[in-house]
Amino acid sequence: MSFPITLAFVPQGHFTQPYLALPCLKAWLQEAGFEDVEQRDLSIEAYDHFLSPDYLRRAQEKVRERLPLSAFEGRESLPLGELRAFRSAAESEVSANAVIADVESAKAVLRSEDFYDVGRYVPAVRTLYHGLRLVSAAHYPSELTPHNFTMGYANDRSDEVLAATLDEDQNPFIEFFREKVLPGLIARKPRLFGLSVVYGSQLIPALTLGRMVKAALPDCHVTAGGGFLAYIGEKLMGAAGVEECLDSMIFHEGEAPMAELAGALRAWDGAGQADLSAIGSLTWFKHTDTDCETVANAPAHPVALSEAPPPDFDGLPFDLYLAPEVVLPYDINRGCYYGECSFCTLPTVIGPGYRTRAAETIAGHLTDLRDRHGVGNFSFITDCMPPGMIRDLPEALIEAQPGIPAEERMKWWCDARIEPRAYTKEGAKRLHESGCRKLLFGFESATPRLLKLMRKAQSPRTVSEIAHNCSEAGISVTLYAMVGFPSETVEEARATLNFIREHKDVVREVSLQTFHIDEVALTYRDPEQFNIKILDGAGTDLQLYHDYLSEQGMTQQEAAEMFDEMMNALRADLPIFSGDNIYYFMQKSHYFLHLARGTTPDEFVEQCKQRTEAQNAREAGGPLRANAARASVTLPFSHVAAANTLAHPLARAARPDFLTGRFVADAQAVAEEQLEPLSPQDCVLVYDEAGHEFVELSRDGLKVLEAIERAGNVDDLLQSLKSTTPGAHERLTDYIAQLHSKGLITSFQPAPAPPSPSTEPHELTPL
């Protein structure tokens, strides 16, 4: 009997590569005898839909209706609460036409060999970012980025989450699901529909789609699972109204429970409601004529990973991911062999126990995936590789590729733990020979006192040794670091920063986070041990993350300010973080693809240095002319001042948290009290349509740009300029250099031309 199953990875996840959950589920279900299994990455489908000329034109019109720029004219001031709306309106007005014109070519750049040309890569990435800003402005105050999705609804309040699933003004996915997803599902008529919710940013889109599927296909059982739901799922299933969006939820690993659920539904005769009480790790809604009861089944046994099939990626749209080569995820183990860090909760997401695949099995699966899909790059999904695997896996990978030169072998990257006995000079060299090109280590802090509180069982000295060993072997080193761990002082945070700066010759990237307390970590369960007091949020029935008060060290506000200080220093000192080189760090796998292609970490860093130096060295000399590919709009307030105020830690705290999607209590009131409203300031926002950058000028600055355009080039303008104001020529030259550094003036090769009649000099308002 046919039993169609559809699995969906819902928005929002990063747009550079597939996610692992659905391929693992599909492989398991098919091995269990369910042949008709469809998997859809609706996240990448949504990005491709939103980042299209047709959708962006509709978004442009919607912004003009909902956020007209004229609404900000004639105002005596602009308070914090309106800055995001003003910025969205201004940026949309000046950039929309260029973004609409270039969005398809930008996607094509990232999907082709042009990706490796930095001169094409950076403007393409900016185009896509600005396209998503336009989408966000159309659904203001929602924000959709490559890294997150938030709305004007709190993610930790079930009534607001459910209300968000019905708000078409703020929720762009309602229209997307209705137009692009539901028709296919209605035609297919799946009996079981599974939603993968790995991140908090997926919660509202998942429940939105679940509600729509249940309404359109009443005979389809809608279930959900994934990492984020392992944290808040029990609370969510107890919230009123969720039964309109879901029929059940699977906790922790989904393979075995999903197969059992499919089996129970397939065997069900259609009378009454199927009995799902025997399915492990399932929580489900049991309906009666008068009531809806939430039933939580006993936990299932963990999957024996050594017996699990390799993930099945068939059916995923490889051509849609925004990278020239697909990097496939693969789970070499589950759980954490160490499992002691006081802040970590990842074992909760996976489920109980640590399990691994044999090195020979991993190597065999990877070669099969390589041959099946024509890919040679992998990201290993692991909390950390145990020392034994660090020793055994390289040998197995090399043996599985006999006769293949090292530079042509499969390449991979993963997270790692500081293990000095494993990452020796020889061990790191062997890892590189096996294809390892990037390792991300849990460094966290350079302060031994804090490392002891964190239960890291490591020292700054061993971090330094491992970083040097890996770097010398040609493996790029990234350090995970945090600021604001309970009791951390400003001086200790700066010690972490100084350690990184002292190792900038071997540390290429830093993933810096402010510390958060969630309900699973030891820091929450035993706050006295860390001298903190947990603050509970009133009415937050889905709360996972908590604010806290610390008896010593930095406050959370001071930690946010220290985060800015550290990031500014890192952007100054680490070449991959400098200027717009940081796009390589921000796009998952993009830097890795350069390493996999053969560029060494040192070579890539040197390229970043040279690019930054070339940008900083731009001067007004030589043949220069105005960049004609630009658009401009006059503003009543400063776009730069608005952006700077919104970047302030107090203003950031007033928006939905990046990691959690929640609103911090009273943060808006505190920010409005301490941050001054903007005063009127006539200025011009210019959009460089070639480099896809925003530049703010004064009205006189725009006149200079227009004068250069009329003159034909900078030299002709300077030669023809007549001014009696002392120093005006020098000030103008300096200002032209600034315009050049911002891309509004570009170099060119003048063509030989016959002498032309003299022209009258240009009159300019002195700067």
pLDDT in tens, 464-487: 999 999 999 999 999 999 999 999
Please state, in angstroms and rounded to a whole number, the distance separating the CA atoms of residues 390 and 304: 21
- Residue with token string 């993610």: 155
3 state SS of 221? strand
Measured in residues, the chain has a length of 767
- The torsion angle over the Cα atoms of residues 579, 584, 586 and 591, rounded to 10 degrees, is -150
Report whether 211 contacts 233 (CB < 8 A).
no
3 state SS of 625? strand
Provide the pLDDT for residue 723. 59
Please state, in angstroms and rounded to a whole number, the distance separating the CA atoms of residues 576 and 381: 24
Mean pLDDT in order along the chain per 10 residues (767 residues): 93 94 97 97 98 98 97 96 96 98 98 95 96 98 95 94 98 98 98 96 97 97 95 95 98 95 93 91 92 94 90 97 97 88 77 86 97 96 87 95 91 95 95 97 96 95 98 97 96 98 96 89 90 83 88 91 96 92 91 96 94 70 79 96 94 78 80 94 94 92 88 83 68 83 78 48 37
Q: What topology is assigned to 325-605 in CATH?
A: pyruvate-formate lyase- activating enzyme (3.80.30)
Closest to 624 measured CA to CA, from 505, 719, 744, 523: 744
Instruction: Give Rg (Cα) of the chain.
Output: 28
- Indicate the residue type of 136: S
Question: 375 burial class (0-12, 13-18, 19+ CB within 10 angstroms)?
Answer: middle
- Indicate the residue type of 346: L
Please state, in angstroms and rounded to a whole number, the distance separating the CA atoms of residues 746 and 64: 32
